[in-house]
């Protein structure tokens, strides 16, 4: 185990040349550098966020939903049937004519009754509009709050105005309380999303969302451990900018404010394109590649971090293309954006914009 730990924390991978972990262990009084142990604070905070989310959705978001006449749906459950349940969970949720005829003969039911059972069973797993509204309101509140906090914190930070300050004195850069709270709160939030996936209603995108959250947690943790938190805070801020607009558009859609939904979706698309296709490569990638190369030079974890950021940029381009394609098709058909989007559009966007 000791050998594995020594291999994983190899200084030649994580740190620039001529820097060791020992150099970072004993900073001057009142100075704090990032440490792996700091990341464990995110776990109790994640549980606290998860508990507060339950309270928020049940007592605050639910009240708002009811005021908009979004009542919790009373779902009619399909009558228990072991044969049909096995087909539903193991074979298909939407049986074709051949399956329907076979099940009809096996159970001595009319085909229409079998179809009705599958329809009720599918509806049983679908979250109600009330539930989706509460979930989106929670995400909207968090995304807006953390973005405002990030902007206020970064506004007072020198690297927000001159990104070369992300690299001056690296890796001997002080972890300030504001930067620590920003990072750990973001990390805890994505841990809480991973927890909540196992208690929320299961959706088709469960695995994709789980991988997304895991990748986000890994990137945040990686940048914290090798003290690239300054540029990491810029990455977080850029990605948080459009998230609240998407959740606001969902809220308007669930509340049936169609024009507001369309307006917010257009605003989300514009902000998404500007932040992901313009600001991110010009402001962040330029700094992590060219400015850092000139100031500190490359080393193994530097390469890994930059490759991951480039992969993220490729994904931005793909997602922007898909979002633009959906918006263009909707406008060509002369329909409103939120209604004409495919049924999977909400889940599609919720996966890809973070």
| pLDDT value of position 205 | 65
Residue ranges for the chain with pLDDT beneath 70 = 73-75, 201-205, 333-354
| pLDDT value of position 103 | 87
| pLDDT value of position 344 | 39
CB-side neighbour CA atoms (13 Å) of 64: 18
pLDDT, one tens digit per residue, over 146-205 is: 999 999 999 999 999 999 999 999 999 999 999 999 999 999 999 998 888 877 766 666
- The whole-angstrom separation of Cα 199 and Cα 211 is 17
Can you give the pTM of this predicted structure?
Answer: 0.85
| pLDDT value of position 75 | 63
CATH of domain 82-125: 1.10.10.60
Q: Rg of the chain over CA atoms, in angstroms?
A: 24
Which residues, including other chains, have CB under 8 Å from residue 15's CB and lie 6 or more apart? 21, 171, 226, 299, 301
Percent of the chain with pLDDT over 90: 54
Nearest to 326 by CA among 316, 339, 315, 314: 339
Domain boundaries in the chain? Answer: 82-125, 129-335
């Amino acid at each position: 185990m000791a050998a594995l730990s020594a291999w994983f924390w190899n200084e030649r991978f994580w740190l620039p040349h001529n820097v060791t972990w020992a150099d970072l262990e004993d900073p001057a009084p009142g100075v704090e550098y990032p440490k792996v142990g700091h990341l464990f604070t995110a776990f109790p905070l994640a549980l606290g966020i998860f508990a507060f989310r339950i309270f928020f959705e049940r007592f605050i978001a639910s009240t708002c939903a009811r005021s908009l006449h979004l009542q919790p749906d009373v779902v009619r459950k399909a009558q228990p049937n072991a044969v049909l349940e096995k087909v539903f969970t193991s074979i298909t949720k939407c049986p074709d004519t051949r399956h329907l005829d076979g099940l009809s003969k096996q159970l001595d039911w009319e085909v229409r009754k079998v179809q009705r059972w599958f329809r009720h069973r599918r509806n049983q797993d679908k979250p109600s509009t009330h539930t989706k509204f509460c979930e989106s309101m929670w995400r909207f509140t968090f995304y807006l709050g953390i973005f405002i906090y990030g902007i206020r914190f970064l506004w007072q930070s020198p690297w927000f105005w001159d990104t070369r300050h992300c690299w001056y004195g690296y890796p001997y850069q002080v972890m300030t309380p504001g930067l620590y709270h920003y990072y750990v709160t973001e990390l805890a939030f994505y841990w809480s999303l991973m927890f909540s996936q196992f208690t929320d209603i299961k959706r088709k995108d469960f695995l994709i969302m789980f991988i997304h959250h895991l990748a986000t947690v890994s990137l945040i943790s990686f940048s914290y451990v090798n003290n690239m938190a300054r540029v990491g805070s810029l990455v977080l801020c850029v990605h948080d900018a459009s998230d609240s607009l998407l959740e606001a558009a969902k809220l308007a859609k669930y509340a049936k404010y169609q024009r507001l939904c369309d307006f917010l979706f257009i605003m989300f698309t514009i902000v998404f394109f500007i932040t992901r296709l313009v600001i991110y490569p010009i402001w962040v990638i330029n700094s992590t590649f060219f400015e850092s190369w000139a100031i500190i030079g490359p080393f193994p974890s530097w390469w890994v971090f930059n490759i991951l950021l480039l992969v993220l940029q490729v994904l931005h381009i793909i997602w922007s293309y898909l979002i633009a394609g959906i918006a263009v098709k909707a406008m060509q058909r002369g329909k409103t954006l939120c209604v004409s989007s495919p049924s999977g559009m909400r889940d599609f966007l919720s996966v890809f914009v973070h």
